[in-house]
Amino acid sequence: MFDPQEVLACPASGPLILCPGRHERHEDASRQAKNPNGVSIDTAERTATHNGPVSMVTGEELLTLTDGTLDGILPFDFTRLYRTSAVEIDSGLGFGWSHSLSQHLELHSERVLWIDPENRRTPFPRPTAARPVIHNSLSRATIYLGEEPDELILALAGHRARFYHFHDGRLSTISDAYGNRLTVQRDRCDRIQRLDNGADRALLLRYDVKHLVAVDYQVFQRGDCEANTWRTEQTLVSYRYDARRRLIEATNAAGESERYDYDERHVILQRQLAGGASFFWAWERSGKAARCIHHWASFSQMEARYAWDDKGCVTVNNADGSEEVYVHDNRARLVRQVGPDGGELHKAYDDQGRLIAEQDALGAVTEYHYDEAGWLNARLAPDEMPMTCNYRHGFLRTLTRGQATWSCQRNAQGDITGVSDPDGQITRYFYDPKGRLLTIRFPDQSGHRFVWNALGQLLKETLPDGAERAFSYDVLGRRITRQDEHGAVTGYEWDAMGRLTRITLPNGACRAYRYNAYGQVTAETDELGRVTRYDYADDLHLVSRRINPDGSTLKYGYDHAQLLLTEIENEVGDLYRLDYTPGGLIRQETGFDGRRTTYAYDGNGQLLKKTEFGDDGSQLVTQYQRDSAGRLLLKTLPDGIKVEYHYDNLGRLVRVDDGQDHPLAFEYDRQGRLITEHQGWSTLRYGYDACGRLKRLHLPDDCVLVYHHAKGGALTAIDLNGTRLTCHRFVGGREQERQQGLLLSDYAYDEQGRLQVHCVSQKQRTLYRREYAYSAKGNLLQIADSRHGQRHYQYDAFDRLTGVRHDRDQFAENFTHDPAGNLLIRGRPGPLVLQGNRLHRHCNSHYDYDAFGNLIRERRGIPPQVTKYTYDSQHRLISVSTPDGKSVSYRYDAFGRRIRKTIGSQTTQFFWQGDQLIAESAPEHYCSYVYEPGSFRPLALLDGKGPADACPLYYQLDHLGTPQELTNYGGAIVWSAKYTAHGKLREVSQGDGERLKQPLRFQGQYFDAESGLHYNRHRYYHPDIGRYLTLDPVMLAGGLNPYRYTRNPTGWVAPLGSGGNCPQEDKQGCSVPYEQGRASVDEGEPDAPSPKPSNKYGYCGDPLEPRGIF
């Protein structure tokens, strides 16, 4: 999605930005950089490569590895690169290798040749007083005179420019626009000995007679004058050479080594990784002119052969039989590329090397236009409004799309100091003299402040609401503690390679991780000491087997040239298979139940057709048509219904029509924010505050909600039709108090942010209270409820719920789970039949499915009571027939949201705000739902239609956001409920007066009394068996068990009824594999526009819960 602030923050890709104050005019002496063999090349990062990586320009190997980092305000990566064309050059790392400090200038009377860290040669005229600045646009580099007489400064264009200072052609300093410096110190042999960041940190380069043998991370120890000394904290990398001065081994800080073999002329033949895998090369020609013709590995999936001509073209023949073609011009610019699936891309450039046009595989052309100074001033993309730009001193100053213009102010160093949106609201940024961000000042005048140390490490952060976070670091610059806004401290421990080995949570519980040489987790130990282990295939970084704490296993297989997941074997031996196109798009997937789906794509890799195959051989075909920008225009469903999508000239969705008398239309403001949406006969309208937060919501019945926020964004109150609905007090992002009518709720949390106490009072008298207790693992152990007594919860080794006990009645629940995670309810007599995760029989109930895995018939008891379910071609439930002969039907809009329910002659209509149910209307009933902003947690029910009749009732929720009570303005309970662990209503109590309908259950669920099911946005949930009726619509991306609700109903919610947006929580330093999340098909369908974000799937309370969700 277009993000103007992200675009504004980036420098242009045109002429290079100079140091502060150096904005004088300069000449452009464009010549392409060349490799040591005299062939035009670009930087390794910008070069098209294949596998190894082998350059598709020259055929040489461009192996780039980072061996360590010097942290600080101006961080520096010590990187080395092997370039085949440099095999005759020894820069101190052996033939063919260079590193990020091995650069120098060759000075001649009228010209300068820059040998950069990649062993490229970039020529410039020598700067003089008459022409102090010379630009080389083809190489995107600039040279200019320094402040000292013999100083020349060089730089490459990039997001954060770095300036390389040379004296007499020797590198002396690296600096940035703020004057932060890395100083190069040399030994008596004129070799670089130390890189000093000026903040008591340095890299020490150690040599033998001729070669670099180690790089150490050093800390300066200050004492009295005689005691000042550099101390080595860690050897980042060490190098070993053979008798011919060739690098043959590199060993990292953890003692893990990778090795290299070469031919007689130092051309690389083999690289063996520390984890055991090896890569091999075969070459045509020899020495620095060598071109790779065959590249393969010790594992079978990777192999390619290359056929070169002398006109800049190379054809790649992959092991799967597919071909790729790369064509470059004589300036190393890619002009044509044919992908493995056959799609062709073409590019065109001007004489200065700037991209002026590119044509995609379907023939759509995007043009780029530049001003006289070389800055991009317009981008003309097909079917899109042009984007125009204005620059000053090499930085984007304004950006315009349509009628909207974003502008920014910058300091002398080019950093943004202010951003003005199309409505004139300004966000300001303040920096210290070193360039460290000190404050962000938002349009509401709130501020976000930062405190840094001399190394550029964040020490303290003051949030806009005044709450503070604090951080500390070890001597190697790794974060070791984080103190949150409430004083809770999380600790981190790291191994020598900076991999997280231990997390100590605020409650003292610990999680631990072990790794292999690829940095992949081989074992994780949870807070209770339970260990999950991971095996890896063929000495690769890809997990082949997960061994669960109980010994059950999950297996993964890979059989594709891109090492993509092709097979999963779950814990009960069922298989899920994936087949791909040569380009890596899923071509076919076969589920654990044997159900098959195939996909066809256009030349740009966009889905054209999806075919679902039923068990009986039937097919459901969905077809997609798109515009040249890739936007979906028409979706033809298997039943022939056509859904049309319309966009404005800025690419925003403005109308969706499925021809079913419920069109959808959307309107936006200049900033692209949704301001109006029409759904059938109803309309929602939105207004925003200066910071872009939702301020005003006009509901379909003309009720108006107004949201009030404190500086920084915390919600303080909501008004309904000009009258106060609720009041809120937040501290550090957590709600502490809520006023709902005459009731006051107080909330308390444990050290990890989980709800611990909810107390409801009136006039300082406690009415009821709930307390929550959790295990070290974060599972809910107990609820002490003053109204309903105590409930106790038990779990198995997978944190799945196994039992619930109540102290005030004999009701108890007991569960088991099969190895694949299917829920089984103990205490119900009778057999159990499961196949491919489909539940066929459980106790005295039988379940039948259609050819596509949808539950179509449920038979209970003897004689059987039969419920029948009918679906449309998109597997949406459209009718239910109950055992008493009654029938109910359902209809949906183009986004799949339920809009109508009909029982006999009674029809209820539903209205939506994005994915949230906002209102429902029936002939004798109307109500609206108000949610906590940014969530699916209900806040209030407005009973009645319109400002005159809407009566607010207030939700009292549990820790999950499930309604426990509804209270009126005076505080009386008008509705209360008890549930089973999986959300089935056990008992409901009504207050005095009219019987109230309250259908909301787990977050995102709506109870249908006629069927007993919960409508859960994309699917229907069956609370009696804790499963969905249909497969997850996002298939494998939703998890390994497509019918399961969640792993743990006491700690997880699924507001969308789909796992496709499950977050992989931030576990810094860890990379525990969970490959199936990557194996998904993007159907390219636009989401329903919404004025605000929502949490689509989440674990309630613990942000560090391991990602093994399913």
Please tell me the predicted confidence (pLDDT) of residue 540: 86
Inside any domain, residue 520? no
Instruction: Using the 3D structure, point to which of 339, 363, 387 is the last residue of a domain.
Output: 363
- In this predicted structure, the answer to whether residue 625 has a pLDDT above a threshold of 70 is yes
pLDDT (tens digit per residue) in 803-820: 999 998 888 999 999 999
**pLDDT digit string, tens, across residues 20-66:** 444 445 688 889 999 999 999 999 999 999 987 999 999 999 999 99
pLDDT at 352: 86
CA 52, CA 49: separation in Å to the nearest integer? 8
* pLDDT at site 225: 61
pLDDT tens digits, 178-217: 999 999 999 999 999 999 999 999 999 999 988 999 999 9
Give the pLDDT of residue 811: 86
Look at residue 1078 in the predicted model and tell me its pLDDT. Answer: 52
pLDDT reading at 648 higher than 90: yes
pLDDT at 1108 over 60: no
What pLDDT was estimated at residue 46?
93
pLDDT higher for 159 or 1013? 1013
At 702-730, the pLDDT tens digits run 999 999 999 989 999 999 999 999 999 99
Q: What confidence category does residue 1090 fall into, taking pLDDT thresholds of 50, 70 and 90?
A: confident
Q: Which of 1104, 738, 788 is nearest to 976 (CA)?
A: 788
Type of residue numbered 765: R
Helix then strand then coil, % of the chain, to nearest 5: 0, 50, 45
Question: 845 in a domain, yes or no?
Answer: yes
Domain termination residue (choose one: 311, 345, 363): 363
Which residue segment(s) compose the domain that 952 sits in?
A: 632-1065+1076-1099
Collapsing DSSP to helix, strand or coil, 537 comes out as helix
Query: pLDDT (tens digit, 9 = 90+) per residue, 337-354?
Result: 999 999 999 999 998 889
Task: Taking residues 1053-1057, report their average pLDDT.
Answer: 96
The Cβ of residue 89 has, within 10 Å, a number of other Cβ atoms equal to: 18
pLDDT band of 300, cuts 50, 70, 90? confident
Contact 215, 251 (CB under 8 A): no
Of residues 843 and 631, the one with the higher pLDDT is: 631
**pLDDT tens per residue across span 886-924:** 999 999 999 999 999 999 999 999 999 999 999 999 999
pLDDT for the residue 13: 42
Buried b / exposed e over 473-491, threshold 16 CB at 10 Å, is: beebbbbbebbbbbebebb
Helix (H, G, I), strand (E, B) or coil at 1087: coil
* Residue 288: inside a domain: yes
Query: Do 554 and 544 contact (CB within 8 A), yes or no?
Result: no
| pLDDT over 60 (residue 1099) | no
Could you list the beta-strand ranges (E) of 1045-1108: 1052-1053, 1098-1099
Which has the closest alpha carbon to 100: 195, 232, 200, 210? Answer: 195
Distance CA 805, CA 225 (A): 70
pLDDT for the residue numbered 26: 64
State mean pLDDT over 1007-1015.
98
Q: Which long-range contacts (CB under 8 A, 24 or more apart) does 155-162 make?
A: 155/16, 156/16, 156/43, 156/116, 157/11, 157/13, 157/14, 157/15, 157/16, 157/17, 158/11, 159/10, 159/11, 161/11, 161/16, 161/17, 162/74
Kindly indicate the confidence band of residue 226, based on its pLDDT and cuts at 50, 70 and 90: low
Q: Is 764 exposed, middle or buried (0-12, 13-18, 19+ CB in 10 A)?
A: exposed
Whole-angstrom CA distances from 1096 to 734, 914, 1006, 1054 are 19, 11, 16, 7
Residue 11 has pLDDT above 90, yes or no: no
Mean pLDDT of the chain: 92
pLDDT higher at 861 or 1083: 861
Q: Which residues touch 487 (CB under 8 Å, ≥6 apart)?
A: none
Average pLDDT over residues 921-946: 97
CA 17 to mean position of chain CA atoms:
31
Confidence of residue 829 (pLDDT cuts 50, 70, 90): low
Task: Report pLDDT digits (tens) over 952-975.
Answer: 999 999 999 999 999 999 999 999
Least confident of 68-72, 571-575, 855-859, 994-998: 994-998
For β-strands 531-536 and 543-547, DSSP reports them as antiparallel
Name beta bridge partners: 112: 107, 124
Q: Cβ(936)–Cβ(1003) under 8 Å?
A: yes
pLDDT greater than 50 at residue 1098: no
Task: Answer yes or no: is pLDDT of 508 > 80.
Answer: yes
Asked if residue 137 is part of any domain, the answer here is yes
pLDDT at 1092: 58
Residue 26 lies inside a defined structural domain of this protein = no
Answer yes or no: is pLDDT of 320 > 50.
yes
| Separation CA 356–CA 333 (nearest Å) | 12
* Residue 6: predicted pLDDT: 47
At 384, list the tokens.
Answer: 């899109």
For residues 698, 700, 703, 706, the Cα torsion angle rounded to the nearest 10 degrees is -20
Which band of pLDDT confidence, cut at 50, 70 and 90, is reported for residue 17? Answer: very low
Q: How many domains does the chain have?
A: 2
Q: Is the pLDDT of residue 985 over 50?
A: yes
Predicted confidence (pLDDT) at residue 16 exceeds the cutoff of 70: no
469 inside domain? no
Q: What is the pLDDT of residue 1096?
A: 34
Q: With 50 as the cut, is the pLDDT of residue 1107 above it?
A: no
Do the domain assignments include residue 392? no
State what percent of residues in the chain have pLDDT above 70.
93
Q: Pick from 1021, 1015, 1007, 1043: which is nearest to 823 by CA?
A: 1043
In a domain, 1059, yes or no: yes
What average pLDDT score do residues 613-627 get?
A: 97
pLDDT of residue 25: 55
Residue type, 1024: D
CATH number at residue 931: 2.180.10.10
- Of 24-28, 537-541, 865-869, the poorest mean pLDDT is in 24-28
Point out the domain boundary residue: 322, 337, 363.
363
CB 608 within 8 Å of CB 623:
yes
Q: What is the reported pLDDT for 159?
A: 66
Whether residue 399 has pLDDT greater than 60: yes
29 vs 738, higher pLDDT: 738
- Asked whether 982 and 1016 are in contact (CB, 8 A), the reply is no
Q: What percent of the chain has pLDDT over 90?
A: 83
pLDDT in the model for residue 1076 = 44
Rounded distance, CA 182 to CA 68, Å?
A: 15
